[in-house]
Amino acid sequence: MTPRDLASQLQAHCGDLVGSLVEFRGEATLTVREARRIPEVCEYARTALDCDLLLDISSIDNYGEDPRWTIVYELYSLKHRAHLRLKTGVSEEQSELPTLTRVWPAANWHEREIYDMMGIRFSGHPDLRRILMWEGYPHFPLRKDFPLAGRTTDLPEVAFTEPAPMEGGPFVTAPGQAGAAEREPRARTNHP
């Protein structure tokens, strides 16, 4: 089955729950209209469509729009060698959707990362803690309204943070005129 076949089977089973198919360079993307029903859609994709791998879950901050959050699920079927992408929107007031850990155990750490970076909660998750930042860090650093340089925080005995000096950009460097041979220090300089 191709990505298009997977998508059309999922559409046939779920009816109005999923939107129309978007295809781009052979990749199939479907939008799930109700975020709270994402587990049943994925359960069908895993069992009936053999999407046995959950490759990734990511989140998008559509800052200033509604719904603010988009959650993207990247599925793969080893049997059909085909990808399928599911998207769903979650409003800022809600900022919560059900976990997929009971469909794919791999969802556990992906969802923890989204909770850590974006502050979107996954109801029913067995262990919803921060995964990269430390417990007690008060911000969600991948949100669009969080400054790139960071903010001042202090959690005694655990960690502190300070804003980084941006100096006009995230990373500024000017290329030199010299070629690599003159620029780089080498152990041996007697090259031909």
For residues 157 and 108, is the Cβ–Cβ distance under 8 A?
no
For residues 150 and 162, is the Cβ–Cβ distance under 8 A?
yes
Is the preceding peptide bond at 98 cis, omega within 30 degrees of 0? no
Residue 149 in contact with other proteins, rule: CB under 8 A: yes
**In this complex, which beta carbon is closest to other proteins, that of residue 180 or of residue 187?**
187
Residue 146 in contact with other proteins, rule: CB under 8 A: yes
**In this complex, which beta carbon is closest to other proteins, that of residue 78 or of residue 132?**
132
Strand runs (DSSP E) across 108-155, as ranges? Answer: 121-123, 153-155
Position among 25, 157, 179, 181 found at the interface with other proteins (CB under 8 A)? 157
Residue 176 in contact with other proteins, rule: CB under 8 A: no
Position among 19, 39, 67, 141 found at the interface with other proteins (CB under 8 A)? 141
For residues 36 and 100, is the Cβ–Cβ distance under 8 A?
no
In the stretch 100-139, what mask flags binding to other proteins with x, by CB under 8 A?
A: --------------------------------xxx----x
Q: What is the dihedral of CA 112, 115, 117, 120, to 10 degrees?
A: 150
Residue 179 in contact with other proteins, rule: CB under 8 A: no
Q: 3-state DSSP call for residue 3?
A: helix
Q: Applying CB under 8 A, which part among 57-65, 67-75, 83-91, 157-165 lies near other proteins?
A: 157-165
Give residue 78's region: left, alpha or beta (phi > 0; psi -120 to 50).
alpha
Chain residues binding other proteins by CB under 8 A are 132-134, 139, 141, 146-151, 157-162, 164-167, 170-171, 185, 187
